[in-house]
Amino acid sequence: MVSSKETLKELVNKKLKKYTFVVASNREPYIHTYSGDKIICIKPASGVTTALDPVLRASKGIWVAHGAGDADKKVVDGKNRIQVPPDNPEYTLRRIWMNKAEEDGYYYGFSNETLWPLCHIVYNKPKFDETDWKYYKLINERFAKTVIDEIDGKQAIVFLQDYHLTLAPKMIKEANPNAKVALFWHIPWPNPEVFRICPWKKEIIEGMLGADLLGFHIGYHVDNFLETVNQTVEAQVDKIRPSITMGGHKTLIRPYPISVDAESISAEADSPEIEEAIKNLRHTFDLNYEFIGVGADRVDYTKGIPERFKAIDLFLEKNPKYHKKFVYIQAGSLSRIHITDYKDINDEINDLVENINWKYSSDHWTPIILVRRHFSSKELIALFKLANFCVVSSLHDGMNLVAKEYVSACDAEKGALILSQFTGASRELADAIMVNPYAPASFADAIKLAIEMPKEEKAERMRRMKETVRENNIYRWAENIIQTLLKI
Ligand code: GDG
């Protein structure tokens, strides 16, 4: 049976009723912000929210997160709580606050200038800064204390998200030995040679091993983690039924490939509104060419954006017959722009696009359209539906949801996916046109293949990938994690 929002809710209703279900993540599922002098509530699109929102609604749970919206403080009660969704309250969002120095050290510093480059092997040196580490510990403590306060001694399941919260599992478990604690790691876990340079590796591993369950996207990250632990702390590592026992406490280590709500994306892609959005996009960006390629990424140095532009350059150089017949549109929403490496990658992308467009443009045709803004999810689906191929060329990526969103939204008769072999998604989407983003010549050939592949083969590959994503959807991800936790 294919998992769905309904089967997930059923599982929660049947099995989770006696537990207080608490989620903690850096990012909140609902943000309050000013629009003029009115306060509005935004629901940022994210796979994790799609999966966990129904769990929290059905279990009347609590979500603890950093209140980052400029109007967040205005709407909470005396305990920093607000009932969400605001128009139909079903669960509690508990916000925690940080001042600028704390956010700088914990979020921009240790999370995104230390752990992010440390875990993504893309040759950006991580920064190891004592002050960042101090703030990271402080904010982990704040998260843990808030979770402990919400549990209030009750039977609880605590589901922590990502690399921002490595120290919290141990703190929560020590205060509440009966709580079942899981942490899901959304990014890659690198090999031990890479991780061993971290001066605080022991504290991080010990913090994580406070959890009862650690989830990674793929088996490869699980293996890397087991080996890292083996080399870092005194613990019993079982590689057959992956688990680690340290100081008498056992942590299961498992792969859970995250995914998307494939059915709702493909239903939306077939709706009349999307036809309308396609018309608008064609008009706005002059997308009236025979072959259209698309990419949608946060502007991040792990996503291989310059590499794909270099491949497009080479493709155009080798295949002049596609000049004025081909256009590539890149949606690139800016992120973490306070960090120098992110400013640098943004400048590099600008320069590259300008040079390539200058080299080839003629009459009214420019081969690359770079749109540096956030698209609405409807626009994004429309872009996927109208494109002949999508490029995901990450240098290293935990999973990559864009690949799965594209597969769900595209027209099976028309679409092709060019996918980096260094994404977690490449394990499941074996029918994609695989590329090594570091190899421009074969990458350029992959673009040609995406355009020229016989229609039947293209459709067959896409249908198989659509089936894979439909079956292994975001609800299955959540169900599998909950099922394992219940067995502990
Ligand atoms: C981390 C891991 C893992 C992008 N631009 C727009 C937009 N997006 C959306 C995409 C997609 C999401 O952002 C990006 O998700 P990814 O998975 O591709 O990448 P990260 O943000 O790096 O996420 C990654 C993920 O966590 C989940 O575990 O897969 O490996 O790095 O959903 O569609 N959405 C809209 N407008 C945009 O302009 N609406």
CB contact set of 334 (below 8 Å; sequence gap of 6+): 298, 299, 342, 346, 372
**250 with 268, same domain?**
no
Rounded Cα gap, residues 262 and 408, in angstroms: 5
Does pTM top 0.85 for this prediction? yes
Q: Whose CA is nearest to atom 33 of ligand 1?
A: 402
Ligand 1, residue 373: give the atom nearest the CA.
38
Query: 346 CA distance to ligand 1 centroid (A)?
Result: 17
Question: What pLDDT does residue 32 have?
Answer: 97
Q: Are 166 and 201 in contact (CB under 8 A)?
A: no
pLDDT of residue 54: 82
Ligand 1 atom 4: residue of nearest CA = 297
Looking up tokens 């009750």 gives 154
Give every strand in the sheet of 326-333, ordered side by side: 368-371, 326-333, 291-298, 389-392, 416-420, 433-435
Q: Report how far apart the first and last C-alpha atoms of the chain are (Å, whole number).
A: 24
Residue type, 102: E
- Picking from 272, 274, 215, 296, the residue whose alpha carbon sits closest to that of residue 51 is 215
Mutation to probe ligand 1, out of 300, 399, 417, 474 (largest number of atoms < 8 A from CB): 399
- Residue 190 and residue 293 share a domain: no
- Residue 187 Cα to ligand 1 middle (Å): 11
Distance 54 CA to ligand 1 centre (A): 20
CB count in 10 Å sphere of residue 452: 12
Examine the domain organization and report whether 139 and 230 are in the same domain: yes
Give me ligand 1 centre to Cα 237, in Å.
33
For residue 5, how far is its CA from the centre of ligand 1 (angstroms)?
21
CB-based contact 475:8 (threshold 8 Å): yes
pLDDT of residue 120: 98
- Whole-angstrom distance, CA of residue 367 vs CA of residue 360: 7
User: What residue has token string 């420019």?
Assistant: 366
Q: Please tell me whether residues 294 and 251 are part of one structural domain.
A: no
Q: Which of 50, 121, 298 to mutate to test the pocket of ligand 1 (most atoms within 8 A of CB)?
A: 298
Residues 6+ away with beta carbon under 8 Å from 438: 307, 395
Report the domain count for the chain. Answer: 2
Are both 53 and 123 inside the same structural domain? yes
Among 304, 290, 474, smallest CA distance to 396 is for 304
Distance 401 CA to ligand 1 centre (A): 6
Say if ligand 1 is within 6 A of residue 377 CB.
yes
Q: For ligand 1, say whether the CB of 380 is within 6 Å of any of its atoms.
A: yes
The answer on 235 and 364 residing in a single domain is no
pLDDT of residue 234: 96
pLDDT at position 67, please? 98
Quick one: which atom of ligand 1 is closest to the CA of 397?
Answer: 30
Q: Give me the pLDDT at residue 249, please.
A: 98
Q: Are residues 319 and 204 in the same domain?
A: no
Residues 212, 286, single domain; the answer is: no
In the reported structure, the alpha carbon of residue 487 is separated from the centroid of ligand 1 by a whole-number distance in angstroms of 31
Mean pLDDT of the chain: 96
Q: What is the pLDDT of residue 58?
A: 85
Which residue range is the domain that position 377 belongs to?
262-470
For residue 332, report the distance from its CA to the centre of ligand 1, in Å. 11
For ligand 1, say whether the CB of 365 is within 6 Å of any of its atoms: no
In this prediction, the residues of the chain whose per-residue pLDDT falls under 50 are none
CATH of residue 274: 3.40.50.2000
Q: Please indicate, yes or no, whether residues 460 and 482 belong to a single structural domain of this protein.
A: no
Instruction: Say if residue 160 is in the same domain as residue 279.
Output: no
Q: Is the CB of 405 under 6 A from ligand 1?
A: yes
Ligand 1: nearest atom to the Cα of 377: 39
Evaluate the omega torsion of the peptide bond into residue 85 and state whether it is cis, within 30 degrees of 0.
Answer: yes
Pocket test for ligand 1, best of 49, 160, 186, 401 (most atoms within 8 A of CB): 401
Residues 148 and 281 in one domain: no
Query: Ligand 1 in contact with 402 (CB < 6 A)?
Result: yes
**Which among 139, 230, 161, 200 is positioned nearest to 398, based on CA atoms?**
161
In the reported structure, the alpha carbon of residue 250 is separated from the centroid of ligand 1 by a whole-number distance in angstroms of 32
Whether 285 and 199 map to the same domain: the answer is no
What single DSSP character describes residue 321? G
Tell the burial category of 3 from Cβ atoms under 10 Å away from its Cβ (0-12, 13-18, 19+).
buried
Shortest-distance atom of ligand 1 to CA 403: 18
